[in-house]
Amino acid sequence: MSLINENKDFGVIAELIPNNASVIDVGCNDGSLLEYLREYKNIDGRGMEIDQKKVQLCLAKGISVIEGDADTDLYDYPDKLFDYSILTYTLQATKSPKTVMQQLVRISKKAIISFPNFGHWKIGASLLLNRKMPVSKKLSYSWHETPNLHFCTINDFIDLCEELEIKIEKKGDLSNKKLSNFSGKNFLDSYFNEVGLFLVSKD
């Protein structure tokens, strides 16, 4: 199976990154995204992953990776060391999303951040009709075993960027596999997008 079939989100993320860029993927899992970007974008990639077994999977793929925690270990990197930092489906599981976002835009020129949108209509409908925390493809854990600590909507994320004076440059619609320039809050995005995907930066 090709990498693009393994995770169709990768293609959208790759559109945000130019060839030969330096990239750190924070919470890189088994390294599949870095492997994809190495193949299709010829990036100079690094990974950070808290799970030792997944670190070993990265190493088996020839990916440069360290065992580390986004909440505590990003401080070790100099300012603007990387062209791009990536944080996919991890922000909501950090202890301090605000601090992690500040560190991402400090260590890189641009950051790509994605997260489950808890404002999606299906989540609201599930709570209303079933009176239970939803379980779906994007939210695959039951409430008692989920690693998610901070439930965030797309509008919450936009508000936090404004508070931190972080510029949102682009937004992604993973359902339709397309990117567009960011021009402010949009009801349709917050209501219909299961995942928030944003390209951000800070001078």
- Position 144 scores a pLDDT of 45
Q: Residue 26 is part of a domain; what is its CATH number?
A: 3.40.50.150
Name 155's bridge partners.
none
Q: Taking a C-beta distance cutoff of 8 angstroms, is the pair 17, 43 a contact? A: yes
Mean pLDDT of the chain: 84
Name 64's bridge partners.
46
For range 185-190, the mean pLDDT = 69
Asked whether residue 138 is assigned to any structural domain, the reply reads no
**Residue 51, amino acid:** D
**36-45, 77-86, 173-182, 194-203: least confidently modelled range:** 173-182
Range of the structural domain that residue 106 is part of: 3-119+150-201
| Tally of domains within the chain | 1
For range 32-49, the mean pLDDT = 97
Asked whether residue 112 is assigned to any structural domain, the reply reads yes
The pTM of this model reads: 0.84
- Position 174 scores a pLDDT of 77
Residues 117-136 as b or e (16 or more Cβ within 10 Å = b): bbbbeebeebeeeeeebbee
Asked whether residue 11 is assigned to any structural domain, the reply reads yes
- Position 1 scores a pLDDT of 30
Distance CA 182, CA 188 (A): 13
* Angle separating helix axes 154-163 and 97-107, nearest 10 degrees: 60
Distance CA 69, CA 35 (A): 21
| Contact partners, residue 152, CB within 8 Å, separation at least 6 | 91, 92, 97, 115, 116, 117, 118, 196
Query: Could you read off the pLDDT of 3-34 as tens digits, one per residue?
Result: 433 466 899 999 999 999 999 999 999 999 99
Distance CA 190, CA 185 (A): 8
Q: How many CB atoms lie within 10 A of CB 203?
A: 6
Confidence of residue 75 (pLDDT cuts 50, 70, 90): very high
Asked whether residue 24 is assigned to any structural domain, the reply reads yes
Asked whether residue 15 is assigned to any structural domain, the reply reads yes
Asked whether residue 142 is assigned to any structural domain, the reply reads no
Asked whether residue 46 is assigned to any structural domain, the reply reads yes
Query: Could you read off the pLDDT of 106-148 as tens digits, one per residue?
Result: 999 999 999 888 765 455 555 555 555 555 555 554 444 545 5
